[in-house]
Amino acid sequence: MPDAPAPEFAALWQAFLDGGLEPAQAEALERLLREDPAAAAHAGDLYVEHRLLGLALQREETGRFVQATRARVAAEGRSFAAQVQLRLTPAQPIVVPLPVAVPARRLPGWPFAALAASLLAAALLLRPGVATPRPDATPPALPTDSAAVATLVLIDGARWQGAALATGQRLAVGDLELSVGQALLRFAGGAEALLDAPVALRLESGGSALVRRGTVTLRAAAQAAGFILRSPVAEVTDLGTEFALSVEPGGATTLQVLEGDIAWRALEAPAAGPGTMLHAGQALRVRTSSDRTGEPLACSAPSIAARIAQSEAGAAERPDGLLSYDGFAYPFATTTSRQHQAAGGFGWRSPWFRQQPDNDLVLDFTPGASLDAPVGLRPGQGGTMELPTEPEKPDTYRDACMRRFAEPIHLDGDVVRYLSLLVRRSATTAGPTHHWLRCMLISETVPADRLGFGVLSDGRPELIGRFGNSVAASPLIDGQPYLCVLKLSCARGAPGQTFLKVYGQREVVDAYEPAHWTVVGQAGRFPGVLGSLHIYNGTERAYSIDEVRLGTTWQAVTPRF
């Protein structure tokens, strides 16, 4: 939830909504919203409600909108081909929304549709300034945000053909070629695919992919059932199961079912039916696209879980993507900014200091008392950083404890970063309000820009950013330690986004990036460079912080036993 807006906001806002906003007031409102991103986000929420009131109170007959839309569609259908022909004129302004261009597997049946589609394609090709891929072009699977169909959740020694992809990157429709190593993808529809190099595939949508060569093992839980995996000769529909699909250089395809059932068909055969089911433990080789029966084989493929266990065992021996770390192994309970003593860990270009170093404010630590980590996470070895209460302080903001990263986060390229820390909210308070916490990454290049996460006074975790805050449903329990993992994902030319996962002490930390986050942030373009971490709290609730990590992978910031 955004911070409370300035007192004058209410009067200005009311005048804006109901009329009577004087020019000077309009200027004041402009200034207020421009200078305070939280107020702008709050105004956005209020404006949404204002607009939705009109819709909620609208008196209309049931089905009016559907009838009107169908009538308009019918009218468009009759004149569509003619309209498309008109659009062939380059001077005609064209706004043709074309979402993710997935190859159609079924042609429209309307008589005009085929003509219209071809004319539309011609119009797009002729339209100046519009980059339209050739029909046979295969654009690479560039990381993107709004059109992401899959996320790269785990890699093991992976090298990609023509791309440098990192864990956590989100992938759009396009081709992927893994030359060396292994990688685990999670599709938007929920299915997970383990790629074993060498493998080449095309991501078609959040629920389908084409394997051109190599082996892909796919696991689709019940909610992700229906995933379609194709090869040059066969198509497999996952019915809630795990199976491996291997494509030989000539296109012959081997299917091995590890769990559950699949439905398969050769591409030139009719749609899959009961006669083309394969069950757990069964395997067969489909030689050509007209091979309707396949050749039975013994099933020998290992499960995804077994492969990942092997991968993790190997990964434990290798250095990871940890960029900055502090476990607060300090022998003192207090120091000050000017003493430059709180300089432990690695990957920093400054010691911890309070935001206004001239005041030489105190930094507090508890030596030798780490916070308990959730199940599976490597426990801390040092102490904790303490953010005590300061009820005597007149303002509501405590000066942040901050530290600069040795390797700032440049947001103008393809970048994924994970920030984790353990946090405990004190069970006691020094007053009725200002019980919040904030852990913010601060821009070095864009004034007042920052993003991060925090805990509201009522205990609910939140994601904070210039595009609005997002709040979790459930509060943290006072006195209990939690692991918070922030993910920041940015892609060149696409909006970035943040995600937050919170684990309680008894929860098992995911071995790799989770499918479900506690809070998903607002998407937007994050410019500039994030150079430092600021941690601060409200004046009437203490917090303890431990095991701060910044890294390039989920595994780097969630080290396991």
Partner 1 sequence: MLDPAATDALVLRAQAGDAEAFGALVRACEWAVRAWITARCPAGADADDVAQATFVEAFKNLGRYSVGGDFRAWLFTIARYQVMAELTRLRRLADQRERYVPHALWQELERRALAPDEHEDERLAALRACLAGLDDDARALLTARYADELPLQQIADQRARSEGAIKKHLFLLRERLHSCLLRRLARQEP
Site for partner 1 in 72-111 (CB under 8 A): 72-74, 76-77, 80, 95-110
Q: Which is nearer to partner 1, 262 or 533 (CB)?
A: 262
* Interface region with partner 1, contact rule CB under 8 A, candidates 143-151, 387-395, 447-455, 551-559: 143-151
CB contact at 8 A, 538 and 396: yes
Q: State both tokens at 445.
A: 């290049």
* Interface region with partner 1, contact rule CB under 8 A, candidates 49-57, 432-440, 501-509, 548-556: 49-57
166 binds partner 1 (CB under 8 A): no
Q: How far is the CB of 355 from partner 1 (least distance, A)?
A: 26
Q: How far is the CB of 486 from partner 1 (least distance, A)?
A: 18
Q: Which is nearer to partner 1, 106 or 134 (CB)?
A: 106
69 binds partner 1 (CB under 8 A): yes
Q: Which is nearer to partner 1, 134 or 318 (CB)?
A: 134
DSSP for 365-423, written as a single string? EETT-PPPPPBTBPPP-S-EEEE---TT-SSS-PPPEEEEEEEEEETTSSEEEEEEEEE
7 binds partner 1 (CB under 8 A): no
Q: State both tokens at 50.
A: 């204002």
447 binds partner 1 (CB under 8 A): no
Q: What are phi and psi of 161, to 5 degrees?
A: -80, 115
- In the shown chain, the binding pattern of residues 191 to 220 toward partner 1, with x for contact by CB under 8 A and - for none, equals -------------xxxxx------------
Q: How far is the CB of 4 from partner 1 (least distance, A)?
A: 13
* Interface region with partner 1, contact rule CB under 8 A, candidates 140-148, 214-222, 372-380, 408-416: 140-148
For residue 363, the number of C-alpha atoms closer than 13 Å in the C-beta half-sphere is: 31
What's the burial of 41, exposed, middle or buried (CB within 10 Å: 0-12/13-18/19+)?
buried
**Apex CA 236: angle with CA 233 and CA 240, to 5°?**
165
152 binds partner 1 (CB under 8 A): no
* Of positions 51, 338, 349, 378, contacts partner 1 by CB under 8 A: 51
CA distance 117 to 476: 54
Q: Which is nearer to partner 1, 280 or 471 (CB)?
A: 471
* Of positions 65, 259, 295, 504, contacts partner 1 by CB under 8 A: 65
Q: What are phi and psi of 420, to 5 degrees?
A: -130, 150
Number of residues that bind partner 1 (CB under 8 A): 91
- How many other CB atoms sit within 10 Å of the CB of residue 222? 10
Q: Which is nearer to partner 1, 49 or 360 (CB)?
A: 49
499 binds partner 1 (CB under 8 A): no
Q: How far is the CB of 490 from partner 1 (least distance, A)?
A: 14
Q: How far is the CB of 130 from partner 1 (least distance, A)?
A: 13
CB contact at 8 A, 332 and 365: yes
What's the burial of 273, exposed, middle or buried (CB within 10 Å: 0-12/13-18/19+)?
exposed
Tokens 């071995």, residue located: 511
46 binds partner 1 (CB under 8 A): yes
* Of positions 49, 259, 268, 295, contacts partner 1 by CB under 8 A: 49
- In the shown chain, the binding pattern of residues 228 to 267 toward partner 1, with x for contact by CB under 8 A and - for none, equals x---------------------------------------
Question: Could you say which DSSP state residue 165 is in?
Answer: -
Q: Which is nearer to partner 1, 59 or 506 (CB)?
A: 59
Q: Which is nearer to partner 1, 83 or 505 (CB)?
A: 83
Q: Which long-range CB contacts under 8 A does 127-132 form with residues at least 24 apart?
A: 127/90, 127/94, 128/90, 130/94
Q: Which is nearer to partner 1, 355 or 457 (CB)?
A: 457
- In the shown chain, the binding pattern of residues 456 to 495 toward partner 1, with x for contact by CB under 8 A and - for none, equals -----------xx--xxxx--------------------x
- How many other CB atoms sit within 10 Å of the CB of residue 403? 22
Residues in the chain, total: 561
124 binds partner 1 (CB under 8 A): no
* Of positions 24, 59, 317, 392, contacts partner 1 by CB under 8 A: 59
DSSP for 57-119, written as a single string? T----TTHHHHHHHHHHHHHHHHHHHHHHHHTSTTS-------S-PPPSS---SHHHHHHHHH
* Of residues 505-544, those binding partner 1 (CB under 8 A): 520, 522-524
Q: Which is nearer to partner 1, 206 or 559 (CB)?
A: 206
* Of residues 15-34, those binding partner 1 (CB under 8 A): 16-21, 26, 29-30, 33-34
343 binds partner 1 (CB under 8 A): no
What sign results for the dihedral spanned by CA atoms 187, 191, 192, 198?
A: negative
316 binds partner 1 (CB under 8 A): no
Distances (CA, A) of 480 to 424, 427, 476, 486: 6, 8, 8, 19
Q: State both tokens at 509.
A: 């930390």
Q: State both tokens at 41.
A: 């986000």
